[in-house]
Structure 1
Amino acid sequence: MELRVLQYFLAVAREQSIIRAAESLHLSQPTLSTQIKNMEEELGRQLLIRGTKGSRKVTLTEEGMILRKRAEEIMDLVEKTEKEILLADDILMGDIYIGTGETDAVREIAKAAKNLQDSHPGVHFHISSGNAVYVTEQLDKGLIDFGIMLGPVDLTKYNALKMKNKDIWGVLMRRDSPLAQKETVSPEDLLDKPLILSQQEDKGGSFSQWMKQDISDLNIVATYNLLFNASLMVEEGFGYAVGLDKIINTGGDSPLCFRPLYPVLENEISIIWKKYQIFSKPAGKFISILKEMLLS
């Protein structure tokens, strides 16, 4: 399968029309149709559902949607590789891709990034957010250079550099809630409370072990992927959000406050990259700066 034909397929998927895609690619409609048909024959799967005679719109089959996702990843990786090769000279410039969850450790990343960009303004950073599964998938596919991980790291697959600080677990709540009068929150305090958990913890994890309770026995009223969204629900009195400190600003006039868990529950934080990874020059310089900062 040629990259050129993958680009043709992505154009059709984007335009939802072979005619419009052909125009954008400066091809004739019969030529593009033939290329797509040849791709379907090569794969042995139908990728597009052509519209009826009165409709020119095309939609993707289930196999077509799978191919679109993979094709986008392939083209992103090709573009990233081309940039690294073209810039592999004495001039330090290019792109660094980092995947991370919500954590205050991003501040350390930002300090190292600023240090590098102050001396090499041609280096640009791209930060994408997601859970641990998202970060490792992107890392394994070569779509990001580094990932920030909370908790243990699979050292058979990745190299890891521990960050100086640890993430502290606690509860985000309204200042006028009963628990706000306490300095810390115990498992007993949360047994009867409406809880808002991260989607990862809703399947069981550090918090359920700390509670010494099965998640199904708790009053989980909602789950979240981003703590900011959960904070809006807390602000409206929907429940108590269990999460990490320093993600939501609770100072000043904020109606919210954060109370740490007791016994203390905390996560180590690491920046990771694939074993035997060959860095681009900007990525190699960045990790050197970060190592110097963290090991000093």
Structure 2
Amino acid sequence: MDIRVLRYFMAVTREESISGAAESLHMTQPTLSRQLMDLEEEIGKKLLIRGNRRITLTEEGMLLRKRAAEILDLVDKTEAELTAPNEEVSGDIYIGSGETDAMRLIARAATDLQKTCPNICYHLYSGNADDVIERLDKGLLDFGVLIEPADMKKYDYIRIPATDTWGLLMPKDCPLAAREFILPEDIRELPLITSRQTTVSNEFSGWLKKDFGKLNIVATYNLVYNASLMVEEGLGYALCLDKLVNTSEHSRLCFRPLRPKMEAHLDIVWKKYQVFSGAADRFLSKVQEAFHSTI
């Protein structure tokens, strides 16, 4: 499968027409059509449904679009690393993370490194642990920030010198807002909005002393901002980490920590035997220096 043809395919999915894609690629429409038919013949699957007004994708075409995007991202990332000038540290660093206030420490390390390496560019990807791990394993990220517990067999890591606190996000005018903390029995009948992270349910089952799946879960989230809008509109109460949603004086929401206290430790991780670019290697050294000095 030719990388060049994958770029042609992605142009067609973007423009939703052969003619529009051919124009953007500066090639003739018959040439582009022939390349796409050859691709379908090579794969043995129909990828495109050619309508009168626009191109749509078959189920196989949608899968190829997802995989092609990942492949082309990795190709572009590799080319950028190999062609970076040797005389100075420059290039791109890709970091994936869930929502956590501990990203402030990553940001401080990046800001400190920028003083001596101003030509490094950082690309941030937000998602839950499953999303970050998938992109790490595919080589699309240099580093990931994971909330414990996480399976570390495939990774090297440094523990971030910070912890996040689990609690309940709720409207300020609800009865529970008068509490200083939230007990297991307080949430067992509440409509709850919970994280989709796969490891979270096991941890909460231990805290609740009952099966997490038996709670009244009305919605799930992978990024908490949208969950906070659901809380504001009265759908339910969000189990989430502190300091991620505005709960200041002018907010309609408040956060109350759980009791017994539930804290989440965090790690910055990378694949074992990873071959880093000069920029990523320098960044890791800066993180090690910054984090070890605070332990």
TMscore range, shorter length:
over 0.9
Please say if 1:170 is aligned against 2:164.
Answer: no
Q: Structure 2: 5+ residue runs without aligned partners? A: none
**Helix, strand or coil: the match of 1:246?**
coil
**How many angstroms apart in 2 are the aligned matches of 1:230 and 1:71?**
31
Partner of 1:44: 44
Instruction: Tell me, in whole angstroms, the C-alpha distance in 1 between the residues paired with 2:173 and 2:165.
Output: 22
The offset of 1:205, in angstroms, is: 2.9
What is residue 179 of structure 2 aligned with on the other side? 182
Number of aligned residues = 293
Residue 146 (structure 2) pairs with residue 139 (structure 1): no
SS in 2 for 1:21: helix
1:268 Cα offset (Å): 1.3
Q: For 1:254 and 1:11, how far apart are their aligned partners in 2?
A: 44
Q: Report the Cα offset of residue 203 of structure 1.
A: 8.3
Would the aligned equivalents of 1:235 and 1:255 in 2 still touch at CA under 8 Å?
A: yes
Deviation, structure 1 residue 216: 4.0
* Aligned-residue offset at 1:165: 1.1
State whether residues 149 and 199 of structure 2, in contact with CA within 8 Å, keep that contact through their aligned partners in structure 1.
no
Partner of 1:35: 35
Q: Deviations over 1:69-107 (max 9, x none)?
A: 111111111111111111150211111111100111101
1:288 matched to 2:285? The reply is: yes
Aligned to 1:89: 86
| Matched-pair contact (CA < 8 Å) for 2:130–2:198 | no
Q: Is the 8 A contact 2:193 2:218 kept in 1?
A: yes
Indicate conservation of the 8 Å contact 1:163/1:268, yes or no. yes
Q: Is contact 1:88-1:281 (8 Å) kept?
A: no
Q: Which moved more, 1:178-187 or 1:105-114?
A: 178-187
Taking the TM superposition and a 5 Å limit, the aligned residue runs for 1:235-254 are 235-254=232-251
Q: Does 1:20 align with 2:17?
A: no
Deviates more, 1:206-215 or 1:66-75: 206-215
Choose from 95, 99, 102 the match for 1:102: 99
1:88–1:280 CA contact under 8 A, matched in 2: no
TM-score between both structures, scaled by the size of structure 2? 0.93
Aligned to 1:269: 266
Any idea what SS the aligned residue of 1:128 has? strand
Contact 1:201 1:208 in 2 (8 A): no
What is the DSSP-based 3-state SS (H/G/I as helix, E as strand, rest coil) of the residue aligned with 2:115? helix
Q: Within the alignment, does 1:58 sit opposite 2:68 as a pair? A: no
**Counterparts of 1:239 and 1:30 in 2: how far apart (Å)?**
55
Contact 2:177–2:254 at 8 Å: present in 1 too?
Answer: yes
1:243 alignment partner, SS class: strand
Identity %: 56
Q: Give the SS at the match of 1:268.
A: strand
Structure 2 SS opposite 1:40: helix
For residues 230 and 6 of structure 2, what CA distance do their matches in structure 1 show?
43
| Range moving further from structure 2, 8-17 or 100-109 | 8-17
